[in-house]
Amino acid sequence: MTERDATQAFLDTLPEVRPGERFRFACHPDVACFNACCGDLTLMLTPYDVLRLRRGLSQSSRDFIAAHAEIGTAPDTGFPVLRLRMLDAPGRPCPFVRQNGCSVYENRPGACRTYPIGRASRLTGDGGIAEQFFLVREPHCKGFAEDKEWDTPAWLSDQGLIAYNERNDRYVRLLARQKKTGDAIDARKATMVLMALFQVDNFQRFAADMKLFARLECDAPRQETVFADEEAALDFAMDWVELVLFGDCPTLRKRD
């Protein structure tokens, strides 16, 4: 079973939060269990998580991954899998948690933002994304006794998840397309994916050095944005990886 399949199986055991349903939750230093959920985790990092975290820490992607990530391989796709490296200390705390809370709060990963909601996504027949939401009510968590009330859209908006979900869903589409082939990519292509998607600062330099745009149909405004904006560079990188792996991409084409 893959990490993603295991996550889906876990979510399926939880109560679903249906459209219009509301829940009570708040997390702040006065809640008795504050910081208790920030340890002993298997926290997967998406490409956008890595971009935001290492930029917020003013680190290169290479330095961030060396210091804070464990790299594995997804058996069904061959894609690199990154996990946040927890500290080797009692309770395996997150390296960014402090007594007064999260030291990278503005750039915390999408999984941290979503909690206590679990989000499951799947591709629909027309290439869209269908969502389900579940309430992760852990026994130690006292946040559910707080008075603040939410529905799912309000929670996702409050936690700044729109940009995260958009790019994570794009990544899901890429993984699903590879999985559909029935084969895993080889180590050379996995290294390419790691560089393009998880090391966007390196990919920008690679695109310039290799003169990628000379071989692609890509207008000048997009080219300029790719080099000026890391989010745009990640969006382009996902298109480029899809084009390289499968020979076609709806939003990027090779020059004739």
**Residues 6, 48, 35: CA angle, nearest 5 degrees:** 65
Classify residue 103 as exposed, middle or buried by CB count within 10 Å of its CB (0-12, 13-18, 19+).
middle
- Both tokens assigned to 124: 């629909």
For 216, phi then psi, to 5°, come to -130, 150
Side chain identity at residue 25, one-letter code = F
Q: How far is CA 176 from CA 74, 92, 172, 182, 255, in A?
A: 12, 32, 6, 10, 26
Mapped onto helix, strand or coil, the DSSP state of residue 39 is strand
Token pair listed for 111: 């999984």
Side chain identity at residue 6, one-letter code: A
User: Is 84:78 a contact under the CB 8 Å cutoff?
Assistant: no
Q: Which long-range contacts (CB under 8 A, 24 or more apart) does 203-206 make?
A: 203/233, 203/237, 204/230, 204/233
List C-alpha distances in Å: 213 to 40, 73, 201, 254: 44, 30, 17, 9
Answer for the pair 182, 64: CB distance below 8 angstroms, yes or no: no
pLDDT along the chain (256 residues), means of 10: 57 80 94 92 96 98 98 97 96 94 97 92 79 89 95 95 94 94 97 98 98 97 98 98 97 94
What is residue 192's predicted lDDT score, i.e. its pLDDT?
98
